[in-house]
Amino acid sequence: MRVCPALAIVLSTAAAAVLLAVPADAAASGTAEAHPPVVARHRAAGEEVTTTLRAAIDALPVAAEDRTGYVRTAFKHWIDADRNGCNTRAEVLIAEALAAPTVGAGCALTGGTWLSKYDDLVLADAKLLDVDHVVPLAEAWDSGAAEWSAAERQAYANDLDEPRALIAVSAKSNRSKADKDVSEWLPSAEAYRCTYLTDWTVVKTRWGLSVDQAEADTLHRLAAACPDTELAVTLAR
């Protein structure tokens, strides 16, 4: 597992937890299994929540988005959290390589191969890849991060503790995506789309981010055709 000590800052912040519950009448009637997750009641940083894809989508708060005041520099990245000479971008490239690159002085990467899952391309040059925030920084700002501290935004931008938060993909696909949400952009590799929706939902759940109505509608519509995967999500705040 990738380790990002910067997240300790976030995990120390006060917050409340997500409790998974079934309706009281279902529990009383002994039919709880027919009404699985999820009722969001409280959140606690560091708590692991077990849910399913569709239940997690149901639990995402729906709210209008507001990009007022957003600047990319509000999310400090890429940092070298463990001070091993490799920043977050390099750590993701090393972790996700199909064939490991050679790591030289200053964490310069040579050789190696990667699969860009957004467009199903195999690339053999680290310079051809971007490390994408699955939920873009601007989208996170719109969805709640505008109210966070600078330390929380830095932890979000360099989240190596959640393997689904960052991904190495072709620069072309990343720039096509830009800061679009799932109602505006999906990977061209159709076989990867359910995984993408799942990862998007995990990140939004982990960080307590909201979705706008178009985003919520798209998640519900597309997830209906995806496996209702069981998810374990460690809350960051």
User: CB-based contacts of 124: which residues, under 8 Å, 6+ apart?
Assistant: 111, 112, 113, 114
Residue 1 lies in a domain: no
Residue 145 lies in a domain: yes
pTM of the model: 0.83
Residue 56 lies in a domain: yes
Residue 2 lies in a domain: no
Report yes or no: 6 and 158 within 8 Å, Cβ to Cβ.
Answer: yes
Q: Which domain holds residue 59?
A: 7-234
DSSP 103: E
38-70 pLDDT, tens digit each: 434 467 889 999 999 999 999 999 999 999 999
Report yes or no: 76 and 118 within 8 Å, Cβ to Cβ.
Answer: no
Structure tokens at 158: 């360099």
Which stretches of the chain drop beneath a pLDDT of 50? 1, 3-41
Tally of domains in the chain: 1
Residue 106 lies in a domain: yes
Question: How far, in Å, CA of 159 to CA of 72, rounded?
Answer: 16
pLDDT on residue 27: 35
Residue 114 lies in a domain: yes
Residue 208 lies in a domain: yes
pLDDT on residue 4: 44
